[in-house]
Amino acid sequence: MEALLRANLPAQIGLVISNDPAASGLVTAKAQGIATLAINHRQFETRAAFEVALAQALDQYQADYIVLAGFMRVLTAEFVNRYYGKLINIHPSLLPAFPGLHTHRQALASGVRIHGCSVHFVTPQLDHGPIIAQAAVAVHNNDTEDSLAARVLQQEHQIYPQVLRWLCADRVSINAQGGVDIANASAPHGALQSPAIAQIN
């Protein structure tokens, strides 16, 4: 969230919400003059009741997009469908690989050579929404979860603000096939190879 605030996006950030009243992001946002709200999920008897309160807060601001950043609560299908096409999330893996938690641990255990992050629209199926953008990093033989997570985080801080800029410019849409179209987007000419084949030929 702090990286998004630093990105000088061409948008008004209307509200920062956390389900944790002690979240440092609330302090950061408030210091920048952004409205904040804590909705403690522990104070609600059911997930549905928590989401009713969350939806009421969101609807007051009539936001074009709801951007998840470090929000670790699984949202119900009813809530997600209510905001379909408006909910954006970033996940620390190259989806559809390694959904859920502990993605870097999963990547290291599986032996993949390339890992990364994905920005996607949120759908009821966890971490399976239409992918807007991805960034990849090589996995090193001496990587730990922390070292791999740090390199992936660098890429998260690049692609998430960029996706939000595209959204602000109305360049992103979900097509009839359920994929994502980005107006005037170009694909890279090369490929990320790990290990670098040119070095071992």
Q: Per the domain annotation, does 192 fall within a domain?
A: no
CATH code at 121?
Answer: 3.40.50.170
Q: What is the pLDDT of residue 192?
A: 83
Asked if residue 58 belongs to a domain, the reply is yes
pLDDT beneath 50, residues of the chain: none
Q: Give residue 196's pLDDT.
A: 81
DSSP assignments along 134-175, one per residue:
EEEEEPPTT--HHHHHHHHHHHHHHHHHHHHHHHHTT-EEE-
**Would you call 91 a catalytic residue per the annotation?**
yes
| CA dist., res. 175 & res. 96, Å (int) | 19
Question: Does a structural domain hold residue 124?
Answer: yes
Domain range for 165: 2-177
| Cβ neighbourhood burial of 60 (10 Å; 0-12, 13-18, 19+) | exposed
Tell me, yes or no, whether 125 lies in a domain: yes
pLDDT of residue 188: 80
Residue 185 within a domain = no
Q: Point out the catalytic residue in the list 91, 104, 115, 157.
A: 91
Tokens of 96: 């559809």
Specify the number of domains making up the chain.
1
The answer for residues whose C-beta is within 8 angstroms of residue 76's C-beta and 6 or more apart is 47, 48, 51, 124
In a domain, 109, yes or no: yes
For position 194, what pLDDT does the model report? 87
The answer to the question of residue 20 being in a domain is: yes
- pLDDT value at residue 31: 96
- Provide the pLDDT for residue 94: 98
Q: Is residue 142 part of a domain?
A: yes
Amino acid identity at 138 = A
Structure confidence at residue 200 (pLDDT) = 60
Give the span between the Cα atoms of 53 and 100, in whole angstroms: 25
DSSP classification of residue 73: P
The pLDDT of residue 165 is 97
Cα 137 from chain centre: 17
pLDDT of residue 197: 77
